[in-house]
């Protein structure tokens, strides 16, 4: 039986690289943002703006992804700040994944800038896995204009760990027989799914490296950290049986998620974030004439534990307030009070029509439902014509920056897209 070969391909400093590549290859600019101290961030006048990506020269000033922009400017007053272009990033990501599929049909996108590729059995086509990885790296640079790291191993976990060993623009292997020398000496925080809180708990009982965790008694780890502890113990030993799962071509739902600037520690804060996400999800559904009857929320805690929960409706809907109310109920039913760093909302079980009858639980009649729908459609029309800030719910009257969240630009959310060249 052939040994499984899995690649993890990760774009280096994706948002900055994609912005720089577009400016150089498409707009013809002489200055490459990757060669100077530069960052991708929002409005320089806002103290809430954070660093989304940084160049290697900016890193030398101690600038970190996620830190406030005003702090970065204090470290480097001449820092070049470029605004994010989410529409461009979506297109760049699409080209990135399409190129990976030219090497193997088994591609699983993990995030906008990274994916796993199952290369098992392709040695007869590309030769040694390292040679195949170099081909991928070189083609992405030559044709798309940005660099990637490629990690190679026998499962998804070790491939991802391999890709993180040294950056940028590198190819690394981390086969099971290499774990002891390449992975076990690393700090335990470098292990996938070990966050700051988990790191401190592990250090409290003498576990400082991944090797320390791998050699620990799993029963002790499970007792102190629960199921998550057992999971990361298996990870420390290189065990991960998940297959590379290509995404289905057909869109079966609408969703948005956001990683918050700071941990969300109260139910009221969480509900505000959920409302901002429901605004964009419901707006897209109405534009496409879609209704959904399954409302799901997913969250990731500050120590990277994941939770999801869903609620089923008797009638499909695309009304913002109804989706929001169900999302809040789903959140309240499952949240254990731990600070949350990421929140998402998804609507599935789609339908092209919605048949409304009197709902005794909500008290909403078909007439009331129709009024809510007309109101939402009017708000959509006004926002599309005059901008998203033309109408803001009272909950966001003191913070208009966050009233519509979810990552994509207005143009992308409303479906108004511009043609993007193959080089994006």
Which value, in Å, is the radius of gyration of the alpha carbons in the chain?
A: 23
Helix-helix angle 267-288:366-386, to 10 degrees: 90
Q: Name beta bridge partners: 160.
A: none
* CA dihedral over 258, 51, 268, 363, signed as positive or negative: negative
Task: Write the burial class of residue 423 (CB in 10 Å: 0-12 exposed, 13-18 middle, 19+ buried).
Answer: middle
Catalytic (active-site) positions: 114
State the Cα torsion 299-301-304-226 to the nearest 10°: -110
Q: Name beta bridge partners: 389.
A: none
Residue 233 near residue 338 (C-beta atoms within 8 A):
no
CA angle 252, 254, 260 (to 5 degrees): 135
Cβ neighbours of 333 (radius 10 Å)? 11
Q: How many CA atoms lie within 13 A of 332 on its CB side?
A: 9
């Amino acid at each position: 039986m052939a040994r499984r070969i899995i690649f993890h391909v990760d774009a280096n400093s994706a948002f900055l690289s994609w912005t720089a590549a577009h400016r150089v290859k498409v707009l013809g600019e002489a200055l490459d943002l990757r060669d100077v101290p530069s960052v991708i961030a929002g409005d320089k006048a806002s103290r809430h703006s954070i660093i989304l990506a940084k160049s290697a020269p900016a890193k030398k000033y101690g600038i970190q992804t996620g830190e406030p922009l005003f702090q970065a400017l204090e470290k480097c007053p001449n820092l070049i700040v470029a605004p994010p272009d989410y529409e461009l990033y979506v297109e760049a990501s699409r080209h990135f994944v399409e190129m990976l599929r030219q090497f193997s049909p088994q591609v699983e996108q993990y995030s906008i800038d990274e994916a796993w590729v199952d290369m098992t059995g392709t040695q007869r086509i590309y030769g040694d896995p390292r040679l195949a990885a170099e081909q991928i790296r070189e083609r992405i640079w030559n044709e798309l204009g940005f660099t990637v790291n490629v990690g190679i191993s026998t499962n998804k976990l070790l491939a991802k760990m391999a890709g993180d060993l040294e950056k940028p623009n590198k190819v690394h292997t981390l086969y099971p027989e290499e774990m002891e020398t390449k992975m076990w000496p690393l700090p335990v925080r470098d292990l996938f799914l070990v966050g700051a809180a988990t790191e401190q708990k592990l250090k409290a009982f003498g576990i400082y490296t991944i090797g320390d965790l791998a050699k620990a008694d799993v029963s002790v780890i499970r007792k102190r950290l629960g199921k998550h502890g057992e999971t990361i113990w298996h990870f420390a030993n290189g065990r991960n049986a998940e297959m590379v799962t290509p995404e289905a071509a057909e869109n079966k739902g609408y969703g948005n998620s956001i990683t918050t600037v700071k941990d969300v520690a109260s139910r009221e804060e969480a509900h505000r974030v959920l409302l901002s996400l429901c605004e964009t999800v419901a707006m897209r559904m109405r534009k496409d004439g879609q209704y959904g009857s399954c409302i799901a929320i997913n969250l990731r805690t500050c120590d990277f534990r994941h939770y999801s929960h869903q609620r089923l409706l008797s009638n499909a809907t695309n009304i913002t307030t109804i989706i929001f109310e169900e999302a809040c109920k789903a959140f309240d039913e499952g949240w254990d009070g731990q600070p949350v760093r990421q929140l998402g909302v998804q609507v599935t079980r789609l339908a092209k029509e919605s048949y409304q009858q009197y709902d005794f639980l909500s008290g909403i009649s078909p007439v009331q439902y129709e009024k809510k729908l007309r109101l939402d459609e009017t708000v959509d029309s006004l926002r599309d014509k005059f901008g998203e800030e033309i109408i803001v719910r009272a909950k966001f009257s003191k913070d208009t920056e966050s009233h519509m969240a979810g990552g994509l630009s207005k143009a992308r959310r409303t479906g108004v897209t511009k043609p993007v060249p193959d080089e994006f």
